[in-house]
Homo-oligomer: A and B are copies of this chain.
Amino acid sequence: LRTHRIAVIPGDGIGREVVPEGLRVLEAAGRRFGFTLACTEYDWSCDRYLKTGAMMPEDGLDRLAEADAIFLGAVGWPGVPDHVSLWGLLIPIRRGFDQYANIRPCRLMPGARTPLAGRAPGDIDFIVVRENTEGEYSSSGGRMFAGTEREFVTQQSVFTRIGCDRIIDYAFRLAMTRPRRKVTSATKSNGITFTMPYWDERFAEAAKRHPGVATDQFHIDILCAHFVQHPDWFDVVVASNLFGDILSDLGPAVAGSIGIAPSANINPERKHPSMFEPVHGSAPDIAGKGIANPIGQIWSGALMLEHLGETAAAAAIVSAIETVLEHGPRTRDLGGQAGSAEVGRAIAELV
C-alpha cells in the first residue's frame, strides 16, 4: 500500500470544521484507490498564538519538512492582527518551502450560482497561476519623517529573473497539458514602468521557448473587466503575486465558486512539501456551527492527490463534488440546509 505522509493544519474558525471533511473524503479515496495517508495534526493557529505567543513553534518548518504534503484549513481570527496570523504561519510556509506556484482553478461547476447572466458549466474553466514568493509582497520598505507632514512610507516590489522565469515556464508547461494550450499574461506595463515591462520581457522570452502555446496579455485593469465580460476567453492566466491574488478571487467570484474554490501552493522541484488550502478564509461569523461548506477543502484535497500522483483518485473526488453540487446535499451558502458533515459524507460515499 502506498503511504503519503500528510501534515494537517486545521488552523482557525471553519478550518477546523472543513478539514475533517476533507480528510474523510481523502480516506475514502485511499480505500478505493489503494493508498493510505499517515496524518500528523498540528494545532498551529490564532488560538495557539493567544495561549503561547506564537502561531507555530520555532522549529515549525523543520517538522513540516518531513511531510509529503501539507493540508491546511484557514488562518486568521478577529483580534489577532494579520501580520501575526498570516506572516507567522501562512506566508512563512509558502516562502520557506519555496512554493512559488500558486494554482487556483476557476470553473463554473454544475449547480453553482454564477452572478453572471447566461453562463453555463463549460463556459468558464481556467486556471490562475500566481507567483507566490516575491513581487509586490516584499519585505523591503519603511517609513520616514514619522508623525510629521512630510511622513511617507515606501515598499519595494522585487521581480527577479529566476522568480519570473520559473513561474511563467510553469504556466506554459501547464497549458501544454490542456486542450486549448493558451497562456494569458497579466501586466500593467503602461503604469508600473519598471517591474511590469520586465515581466513582459520575460514572458516574451518564455513564449519563444514554447512555440506550441498561444499567448496574449492584458493590463490588469482591463483583464479584470474581461474576466467579467468574457470569462470564456481564458485557459491559463499567469500573474505576479498581487495580480494573481486579485485574479484568483475574481475568477472564482465570476464562476460562482468563491466559497468552494481550492488552491495549491506548489514547490514544483519537490525539494519541499507543497501546501493545499481552500481560497476561503476562517469565516468567524459562521464558525462553530457546523454549517460551513467543506467543498473548497475537499477540492483542495483532490489537488493534493493529483500532486502526489494519485490522479485517478483526484478525478474521482472532483466528479463526486460535481454530483453533489448538482443534486445536493447543499450547505446554506448554496441554498440548502445540510451541515458540513452531511456534505462531506455524501462526497465520501460517492468516491
Contact = CB atoms under 8 A, between A and B. Distances in A.
A149 B162 contact: yes
A176 interface: no
Nearest to A136: B192
Contacts of A254: 228
* Copies of this chain held together in the complex: 2
B86 A190 contact: yes
Nearest to A162: B149
Contacts of A189: 82
A124 interface: no
A248 B229 contact: no
B194 A154 contact: yes
Given A116-B116, A156-B155, A157-B154, A221 B245 contact: yes
Contacts of A87: 193
Interface string A168-205: 00000000000000000000111111110110000000
A326 to B, nearest CB: 19
Interface string A200-229: 000000000000000000001110111011
B155 A161 contact: no
Contact of A115 (B155, B221, B229): B229
Contact of A161 (B141, B151, B156): B151
